Amino acid sequence: MKASNVKPADGKLGVLVVGLGAVTSTFMTGVLMARKNLAKPVGSMTQYDKIRVGKGADKKYLKYEDIVPIAKLDDIVFGAWDVYPANAYESAINAEVLKEKDINPVKDELEAIKPMKAAFDHNYAKRLDGDNVMVGKTRWEMVEQLREDIRNFKKEYGVDRVVVLWAASTEVYVPVDENVHGTLADLEKAMKADDKEHIAPSMCYAYAALSEGAPFIMGAPNTTVDIPAMWELSEKTGMPIAGKDFKTGQTLVKSGFAPIIGTRCLGLSGWFSTNILGNRDGLVLDEPANFRTKEVSKLSTLESILVPEEQPDLYTDYYHKVRINYYPPRNDNKEGWDNIDIFGWMGYPMQIKINFLCRDSILAAPLCLDLVLLSDLAARAGRHGIQRFLSFFLKSPMHDYTKGEVPVNHLFQQYVMLKNAIREMGGYEADEEID
């Protein structure tokens, strides 16, 4: 075993979230409640999972915090930006994810989290019309304001390190444009020219975070940091980036279930995934241009697990469809159905049905915590650029497509990547033994 050269997690960790909605208010409430020992952070790998280190007689199973220095929940300080002025308490109540009895014990702390003015453009989320927004600012001025917000937050709360997490609404689909998104110089030029078509508000947050020495996590499927210009910036400032799109419900099931079909060499002729969802996320995704962003992200999962080129007899031309329907009565309690048409010996068809009655924000909150703590860890370990070891938590894992890299979507391969990165940062050897 080598000595770990990760810097210690001393001092406070600022967690600045973009979007103070259902997911982030549930995340914050859970962290504050867990701190008081009034709730358990169930579903969080950093709080529960144990990884084997060493082999043979030396092997032992340790929690992440016993392998690498992870920030403590007690050291987290929250801040936020949102289009609406509701504080974190009001937002948690409005979201109706948690019962009041699970929110009220931390009411004072939540009320103190008041959103800063959002860098927002109505054309990127037409269903939103809040007034807690920066007015009349160009894209570059948005960047400058956000950078000032981050610096002020650090000063006001005596915070040493900051992580910025986007869990705001899904923006309209922004295709990658080589001429604008290809290099950092071109990106900055477009921001300064106030190119509203190619520069989404989320890019301003990412640019500001990375420039202020904060890792940036993209929890929605937005293009934002999935462009070479942002990779260049993250290398330049030495900051980690992670994305895209939290892998919470249906896609988690898909990336865990598809390997059953692939490993067993069964064939696939179709996979139809549909959802009903009634929260504000569902409302925004009801807009076709916003849904397009989500659809691209959700569709990418199967293609790299059941690959037609590798097994033409089994996976050529399977029909893959994903739908999300806005249905207000269900609010945050999303219901997902998967109908999977498979075939077996001599091509005989069979069907599998999966019905997941989940709770969107309950599944997303522990991912927020893990992504924040592990991105902060990565920064202290001197890792920068795309953090592929965090693919485990993401629906549409970033990868360098300009170099022909392929994403890893297979849940258990992703878990190996996660474990090995933690082992290596802790000074242990990576390995592929299954346990």
Residues near ligand NAD (CB under 6 A): 18-23, 81-84, 118-120, 125, 128, 130, 167-170, 201, 219-220, 245-246, 248-249, 279-281, 360-361, 363-364
Residue 295 or 360: which CB sits closer to ligand NAD? 360
Residue 25 or 387: which CB sits closer to ligand NAD? 25
Q: How far apart are the C-alpha atoms of 355 and 47, rounded to whole Å?
A: 28
Residue 9 or 324: which CB sits closer to ligand NAD? 324
Q: Which residue has the tokens 């048409």?
A: 341
CB 168, min distance to ligand NAD, A: 3
Q: Which residue is nearest to ligand NAD (CB)?
A: 21
Q: How far apart are the C-alpha atoms of 82 and 133, rounded to whole Å?
A: 8
CB 287, min distance to ligand NAD, A: 12
Q: How far is CA 161 from CA 210, 376, 430, in A?
A: 12, 8, 28
Residue 162 or 167: which CB sits closer to ligand NAD? 167
CB 132, min distance to ligand NAD, A: 8
CB 203, min distance to ligand NAD, A: 11
Residue 70 or 191: which CB sits closer to ligand NAD? 191
CB 260, min distance to ligand NAD, A: 23
Q: How far is CA 56 from CA 53, 392, 421, in A?
A: 10, 27, 20
CB 412, min distance to ligand NAD, A: 21
**Per the structure block, which two tokens stand in for 304?**
């790299």
Q: Which of 243, 272, 281, 267 is nearest to 359 (CA)?
A: 281
Q: Which of 82, 105, 98, 92 is nearest to 16 (CA)?
A: 82
Residue 47 or 248: which CB sits closer to ligand NAD? 248
Q: How far apart are the C-alpha atoms of 113 and 132, rounded to whole Å?
A: 14
Q: Which of 239, 243, 209, 208 is nearest to 226 (CA)?
A: 243
**Per the structure block, which two tokens stand in for 292?**
């397009």
The CB-based long-range contact list for 251-255 (8 Å cut-off, 24+ gap) reads: 251/298, 251/301, 251/395, 252/363, 252/411, 253/336, 253/338, 253/354, 253/356, 254/301, 254/302, 254/338, 255/301, 255/305, 255/409, 255/410, 255/411, 255/414
Q: How far apart are the C-alpha atoms of 280 and 41, rounded to whole Å?
A: 24
Residue 9 or 364: which CB sits closer to ligand NAD? 364
Residue 219 or 397: which CB sits closer to ligand NAD? 219
Q: Which residue has the tokens 């917000």?
A: 149
CB 317, min distance to ligand NAD, A: 28
CB 361, min distance to ligand NAD, A: 5
